Amino acid sequence: MRPDNQARNIREKIVNKSKGNPTPVYTKFEEKCSKELVKQDLVDLAAGTLSAIRVRGFFSKELCAEVMENLQTVELGEYDQQVVSPRIAKLGPSAFDYYIDGGIGDEYWEHRDQSDEVRSALAKGIDPLVLAMEKISLCWGSDVRKSSINGRRLFAGMIREINEGARIHFDEIERELPNGLDDTPVAQLAFNCHLEMPKKGGEATIFRRRWMPQDEDNRDGYGYPYDLVKDQPYTSVRAEVGDAVIFDPRNYHRVETNKSPGRRVTLSFFMGLTADGILEIWS
């Protein structure tokens, strides 16, 4: 018998004798709640084995109150209501607001600078975005930086007000603007720190279901029907003022309607993990 055939037969005998149970498969879509942001939690979220991270007291209630008081003097813009309905008020440009022929329109950059200036004045002594970046950088172990297109840094740190809910949708920069960023993210996360919340409602609900090409047959504007996700595992995260909630926006998600008086206002941006292990952010 040739040596290679002999080795093959030995392997076959070993395989045939090893008849164990099938390997178990775990859903692993739980929410993690903690008092501090932990790097491993971000890694697990990017890997798809957590549904969401809730960090209690990411911002102090005093900072949130100061931002909200000064925000009263700011005239907020909104997403195009022909695309995004119900209305979502916001401070700052969204990259997809300015997508033109695979790039970003010129007006975006002026809007970026104006919005950075306004947001940086909402709290005395520190821009809320800078504080968030510092906290995430400390957790990650290296500096968080803003994403760029052709060397120009994108806007990050939108302030959004969602009181009437947001429809089921997903966010994925590589499907919206393929190869648009200078550094392609291998994973994408969404960050929301809650500056004000109603006593009831306003939860973020995340479903364990990602976009598939056939989903476009049921798309209405930016939203998708509940039927796409009705049988999927999900989690609903109820945050308090100052809490940060982070999840993978490539999963379908929605914001529940406020069920009591009050405003639901967040500091929001996306985080992309690059192949070099760098965290980059944009809105």
What are 46-95's pLDDT values in tens digits?
Answer: 999 999 999 999 999 999 999 999 999 999 998 877 778 888 999 999 98
With beta carbons less than 8 A apart as the criterion, state whether 153 and 147 touch. yes
Helix (H, G, I), strand (E, B) or coil at 216: helix
pLDDT in tens, 49-60: 999 999 999 999
Q: Which amino acid is at 114?
A: Q
> Is the pTM above the cut of 0.85?
yes
Averaged pLDDT for residues 136-161: 97
pLDDT in tens, 230-266: 999 999 999 999 999 999 999 999 999 999 999 999 9
CATH topology classification for 23-282: Jelly Rolls (2.60.120)
* pLDDT at residue 48, rounded to an integer: 96
Across the chain, mean pLDDT equals 92
* pLDDT at residue 22, rounded to an integer: 78
CA distance 131 to 172: 25
Q: Output the CA torsion 90→93→96→100 (10° steps).
A: 140
With beta carbons less than 8 A apart as the criterion, state whether 174 and 249 touch. no
pLDDT in tens, 253-263: 999 999 999 99
* pLDDT at residue 7, rounded to an integer: 41
